[in-house]
Amino acid sequence: MNISTVRVLVILTAMLGTSVALAAERTYDKRLDAPPGGHLTFDTDVGSVTVVGRDAPQVVIHADLQGSEDFLNRLHISAEQTPTGVTFSARVAHDGWHNWFNFGVTRVRFTVEVPRDYPIDLKTAGGGLDLRDLNASVHAATSGGGILVQNIGGAVNVHTSGGSIDAKGLKAGARLDSSGGGIDVTDSSGDLDIHTSGGSIHMENDDGKVDADTSGGGIRAQLRANHGISLRSSGGSITLLLPQGTHGSIDAATSGGRVTSDFPLSSTESTGHSHLVGAIGGGGPAIYLHTSGGSIRIAPEG
């Protein structure tokens, strides 16, 4: 038996042993006082995280943990009060190549309750994020899942390297960044800074300045007003819907389709059907639309 065959058999045996050992389950619970003026710092190597705002001056952390006994014994969780608030960490001690198999069969889910006015700074390397019902700022990142942010009163800054972003009811400025999925934003009232390398962008009933670009899909934006709009796509069409009576100065261009406007335009300049410059409602905040991979349409909503 050659060395390569022996290695394959060792790996398959380790995988089988790990899957058999998956039955182990544990829970973790911690409750800490959270006086006004602090914030939550949450950093974990694995797992999805849900954070919900509550009307109580405490941080409550619950975790459902499932995996091999070896993995659970290597997972070290710490939560403590600090002068700046509450700090949480979950770290997995590494043990060479065998650790990769444990990562493949784990199920780790964190649920966190915080005071509504508690700012959040959160990172996970292994799951999705669900953040809701908060009045404070949110800064969050994941390397392995999608993000949902809902009913957030403070500034939002979120990033995912491996999923989509769904944002609803954001009341302040937001930066939403994805390297691997689409971005949907609904009923926001603050300025939006949106970027994705791997999907489409959809905005509905949003009111604020908008700067959005995608390298991998189209853009559809239905906005309540024009506070300044920049929409850019390298791989799809752009549709912009605005209320009747909107004022704006349009510069729209495409390398892969045509530009059309259902609004009456003044001071119009055009280059064939691919570039349109003009004013709606006599002019106003800039509306810049550019795509390399589709058509552009500007129209009244409804």
Kindly report, residue by residue over 252-291, the tens digit of the pLDDT.
Answer: 999 988 999 999 988 777 767 889 999 999 999 999 999 9
Cα angle 65, 71, 74; round to 5: 100
Q: Name the pLDDT band for 97 (thresholds 50, 70, 90).
A: low
Average pLDDT over residues 47-68: 96
Contacts of 43 (CB under 8 A, 6+ apart): 88, 89, 90, 122, 123, 124
Share of the chain above pLDDT 90, in %: 79
Average pLDDT over residues 198-221: 95
Q: Name the pLDDT band for 117 (thresholds 50, 70, 90).
A: very high
With respect to residue 98, please indicate whether it lies within any of the assigned structural domains.
yes
pTM: 0.89
Residue 62 has pLDDT above 90, yes or no: yes
With respect to residue 289, please indicate whether it lies within any of the assigned structural domains.
no
Q: Which domain covers residue 68, as residue numbers?
A: 1-145
Mean pLDDT of the chain: 90
Residue identified by tokens 């905040």 is 285
Tell me, what's the pLDDT at 216?
A: 81
With respect to residue 177, please indicate whether it lies within any of the assigned structural domains.
no
Tell me, what's the pLDDT at 239?
A: 98
Average pLDDT over residues 16-27: 63
Domain count, the chain: 1
The answer to whether residues 149 and 156 touch, using CB atoms and an 8 Å cutoff, is: yes
Q: Name the pLDDT band for 162 (thresholds 50, 70, 90).
A: confident
Average pLDDT over residues 219-242: 96
Q: Is 281 left (phi over 0), alpha (psi -120 to 50) or beta?
A: left
Average pLDDT over residues 28-33: 97
With respect to residue 52, please indicate whether it lies within any of the assigned structural domains.
yes
Residue 79 has pLDDT above 70, yes or no: yes
Tell me, what's the pLDDT at 268?
A: 74
Q: Are strands 248-254 and 275-280 parallel, antiparallel or unpaired?
A: antiparallel
Cα gap 156→122, rounded to integer Å: 12
Cα gap 62→47, rounded to integer Å: 12
With respect to residue 35, please indicate whether it lies within any of the assigned structural domains.
yes
Strand partners, 175: 157, 193
Tell me, what's the pLDDT at 27?
A: 96
The answer to whether residues 143 and 162 touch, using CB atoms and an 8 Å cutoff, is: yes
Average pLDDT over residues 41-48: 96
Q: Which residue has the higher pLDDT, 136 or 101?
A: 136
Strand partners, 32: 59
